[in-house]
Structure 1
């Protein structure tokens, strides 16, 4: 039986086109802001690292929130992370970034306009037949308004994929402050400005990526409803992300 998604979560035609196109090198996604003559082009797909998700429970959220630092330092409860309602098979998966370029000029200075257009977690190589927003475990689909995009928010323009079962240990380096200043993190620096934190006691990882103000999580479903890919977008040229 083929998968039939919930229409309230389904990506519209423009969003679906973007999600299919953004990971195709050479394709044009739109044009530079205020310059319709200069295209924004997908320049390449970069595999950043692999991530271990032994619990099959995936968090896609900011690794920390500034307004919770005080509570964390004093051992007080903080908000739970945005864990996705969907479950994935426990395993190790590739994290990939789609890069775009849209050259522009600003006050006489030229810039290459290279940006991260989307980040994805590759669950399988099976073909995707449809896209839908990824709900969090605490999201109520019945409260979703027409055209609304459910997203996570980030004070520092950073998002992450992480194993939910090891969340506390994996995010501890991001919450270490002394006199109000962040301490150097015990993390692995990756390409594209990403970081990886590991918890060997649980064989679990957290990988950060760029996410301007946060992002929307999209699930790429196969014809049998399995999730083949999880994509995070922060903005889409001409598309409400």
Structure 2
């Protein structure tokens, strides 16, 4: 029997179009701001790294925020992360970034305008037949209003995928500071704006990615209803075709 999604969570036509196009090389995602003649074009899909999720419970959130740093410095508990309500099979998964370019000119200088169009956690290679909002464990579909897209927020424009069972250890490097000033983190640098933290005791990872002001989490479902992909959109995701 083919999967039938919850209409309250289903992606609308514009979001569906963007999610289907973002990881397609050469696809047009809209036009450069204030220049409708210059398209924003998907230039490539990069496999950033892999991530271990042994618990099958996934956090998709900012690895820290300003309030967390203040609480941590005072010895107070930090807020719980935004763990997804859906679980995935324990395993090792690819993290991919879709890059898009929209060249523009600023004060006479040309820029390539390359940005992250979306970030994807690949659960399987099965075809996605529909997209829906990825709710957090404490979020209720009954509370959604038409057009609502629950999201995580990030003061530092950083998001992450992380194993929820190892969250305390994995997120700790992002809350290290002296006299209120962050100090260099003991993390592995993967690419510009992307880092990885490993917890070898639990065989679990955290991987960061660029997320302008945070992001909306989408679940790509197969015909059988299984989650094949988890995608985060932010920033240029508001582009119009």
Greater shift after overlay, 50-59 or 75-84?
Answer: 75-84
SS of the residue corresponding to residue 146 of structure 2 reads: coil
- Residue in structure 2 matched with residue 233 of structure 1 by the alignment: 233
Within 5 A, what are the aligned runs for 1:1-241?
1-235=1-235, 236-238=237-239
Q: Secondary structure at the match of 1:83?
A: coil
CA deviation vs aligned residue, 1:36-67 (integer Å, no higher than 9, x gap): 00000000000000000000000000000111
2:123 touches 2:230 (CA, 8 Å); kept in 1?
yes
Deviations 1:164-194 (Å, cap 9, x if unpaired)? 0000000100000101111111111002421
Superposition CA RMSD, Å: 0.9
C-alpha displacement of 1:204: 0.3
Conserved? CA contact 1:22–1:98, under 8 Å: yes
Task: Give structure 1 regions of 4+ aligned residues with deviation exceeding 3 angstroms.
Answer: none
Could you tell me how far apart the structure 1 residues matched to 2:231 and 2:10 are?
14
Whole-angstrom distance in 2 between the partners of 1:183 and 1:192: 18
Deviation of the 1:79 alpha carbon: 1.2
TM-score normalised to structure 2 length = 0.97
Count of paired positions:
239
Alpha-carbon contact 2:68-2:175 (below 8 Å) kept: no
1:71-127 CA-partner distances (Å, limit 9, x unpaired): 112331221000000000000000000000000001111110000010000000000
Distance in 2 separating the partners of 1:95 and 1:40: 22
Distance 2:170 2:189 in 1: 15
Shifted more, 39-48 versus 101-110: the winner is 101-110
User: Per the alignment, in what secondary structure is the counterpart of residue 87 of structure 1?
Assistant: coil
Q: TM-score, normalised by structure 1?
A: 0.97
Question: Do the aligned partners of 1:56 and 1:90 also contact (CA within 8 Å) in 2?
Answer: yes
Which whole-Å CA distance do the structure 1 matches of 2:46 and 2:225 have between them? 27
CA distance in 1 between counterparts of 2:216 and 2:144 reads 14
- Which 5+ residue runs of structure 1 have no aligned equivalent? none
Distance in 2 separating the partners of 1:223 and 1:141: 22
Please state whether the residue corresponding to 2:166 is helix, strand or coil: helix
Tell me how far apart the structure 2 counterparts of residues 4 and 152 of structure 1 sit (CA, whole Å). 26
Unaligned runs of 5+ in 2: none
- Separation in 1, partners of 2:193, 2:80: 25
